[in-house]
């Protein structure tokens, strides 16, 4: 905490920019050794406006880092069989190192079945069963980008996990569960909370590092936070005024926490940066580097 009793703001935008710079340097090294640039294909089914924005941002960040980026746009009426055939084609395309299926898929399409058909080596979102198993068993695989971004932001601010009480609110396959595994692998003592947790405030108060990945605007109050704790806010919600707000009541938390990520500009920008990192690593493996 700084002198005036306000938390250090963990700037995800700057941290993500540093990760993207490292990735760009990695791409340059790969190319200089005569290997192709990492190829990322984003599969977008239907015209969900939020997904369109995410895809545009991914496209821009990947292009800036020196990737070959393509977006496969399929209309919302695409059949399960046609979508899975496209995934098979991308699995076999040697210029594509990372495939990202933008979720959620339109109603009627089965995301689990699509993921089962994805080559785990190209699953840069870390969602296939093979990569989930790798995470749990501690073997090499792609780690989901948002939880990986949470760890990276801690690492790049010198906040160690070893021996700390880490409490994660949320147990989704996308954020809460993989983050619990990552924190455990760093020798943290991990508690995972959810909608049936008996006394959420008390669980949160015990945390040295508190992560909110819930999807409820300002659920976590200032007095749920241990003074000096580190708070990572993964939530992205629309406030009453239409602005983005996190799962943590930032105005209250900022005078209690030791360090905190803002929303926007915290964990959010880290997700794309980690996607690039995973895709670079897939391209390196494909190149035998």
> Torsion-angle region of residue 228: left (phi > 0), alpha (psi -120 to 50) or beta?
left
Q: Does 271 bind ligand NAP (CB under 6 A)?
A: yes
The overall longest dimension of the chain from CA atoms, in Å, is 60
Q: Does 27 bind ligand NAP (CB under 6 A)?
A: no
Q: Does 216 bind ligand NAP (CB under 6 A)?
A: yes
How far apart are CB 54 and ligand NAP at their closest, in Å? 9
Examine the residue annotation and report whether 107 is marked as an active-site residue of this protein.
no
Decide whether 124 or 193 has the Cβ nearer to ligand NAP.
Answer: 193
Q: Does 172 bind ligand NAP (CB under 6 A)?
A: yes
Of 131, 80, 73, 132, nearest to 102 by C-alpha is 73
How far apart are CB 102 and ligand NAP at their closest, in Å? 12
Q: Does 234 bind ligand NAP (CB under 6 A)?
A: yes
How far apart are CB 170 and ligand NAP at their closest, in Å? 4
Q: Map 47-63 to HEC letters.
A: CCHHHHHHHHHHHHHHH
Of 144, 221, 142, 222, nearest to 176 by C-alpha is 144
The catalytically annotated residue of 11, 123, 125, 208 is 125
Q: Which residues, including other chains, have CB under 8 Å from residue 207's CB and lie 6 or more apart?
A: 165, 166, 167, 191, 225, 226, 229
Q: Does 169 bind ligand NAP (CB under 6 A)?
A: yes
Q: Which helix (H) or strand (E) holds 286?
A: helix 267-287
Examine the residue annotation and report whether 164 is marked as an active-site residue of this protein.
no
Of positions 65, 200, 211, 220, contacts ligand NAP by CB under 6 A: 200
What angle (nearest 5°) sits at the alpha carbon of residue 263, between those of residues 12 and 271? 45
Decide whether 140 or 201 has the Cβ nearer to ligand NAP.
Answer: 201
How far apart are CB 3 and ligand NAP at their closest, in Å? 30
Of positions 39, 66, 262, 268, contacts ligand NAP by CB under 6 A: 268
Q: Which residues, including other chains, have CB under 8 Å from residue 115's CB and lie 6 or more apart?
A: 101, 123, 127, 128, 129
Which residues are at the interface with ligand NAP (CB under 6 A)?
A: 146, 169-172, 174-176, 193-197, 200, 213-216, 219, 234-237, 267-268, 271
């Amino acid at each position: 905490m700084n002198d005036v009793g306000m938390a250090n703001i963990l700037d995800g935008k700057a941290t993500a920019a540093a990760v993207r710079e490292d990735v760009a340097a990695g791409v340059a090294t790969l190319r200089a050794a005569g290997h192709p640039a990492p190829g990322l294909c984003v599969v977008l089914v239907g015209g969900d406006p939020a997904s369109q924005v995410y895809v545009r941002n991914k496209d821009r960040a990947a292009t800036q880092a020196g990737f070959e980026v393509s977006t496969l746009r399929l209309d919302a009426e695409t059949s399960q069989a046609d979508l899975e055939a496209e995934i098979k084609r991308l699995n076999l395309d040697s210029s594509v190192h990372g495939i990202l299926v933008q979720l959620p898929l339109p109603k009627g399409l089965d995301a689990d079945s699509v993921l089962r058909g994805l080559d785990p080596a190209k699953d840069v979102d870390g969602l296939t069963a093979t990569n989930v198993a790798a995470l749990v068993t501690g073997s090499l695989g792609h780690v989901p980008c948002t939880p990986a971004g949470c760890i990276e932001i801690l690492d790049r601010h010198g906040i160690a996990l070893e021996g700390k009480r880490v409490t994660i609110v949320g147990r989704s396959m996308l954020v809460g569960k993989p983050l619990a595994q990552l924190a455990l692998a760093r020798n943290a003592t991990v508690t995972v909370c959810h909608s049936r947790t008996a006394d959420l405030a008390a669980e949160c108060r015990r945390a040295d590092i508190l992560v909110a990945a819930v999807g409820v605007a300002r659920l976590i109050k200032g007095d749920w936070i241990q003074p000096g704790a580190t708070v990572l806010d993964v939530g992205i919600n629309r406030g009453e005024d239409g602005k983005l707000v996190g799962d943590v009541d930032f105005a209250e938390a900022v005078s209690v926490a030791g360090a905190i990520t803002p929303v926007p500009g915290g964990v959010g920008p880290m997700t794309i940066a980690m996607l690039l990192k995973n895709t670079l690593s897939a391209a390196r493996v494909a190149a035998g580097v």
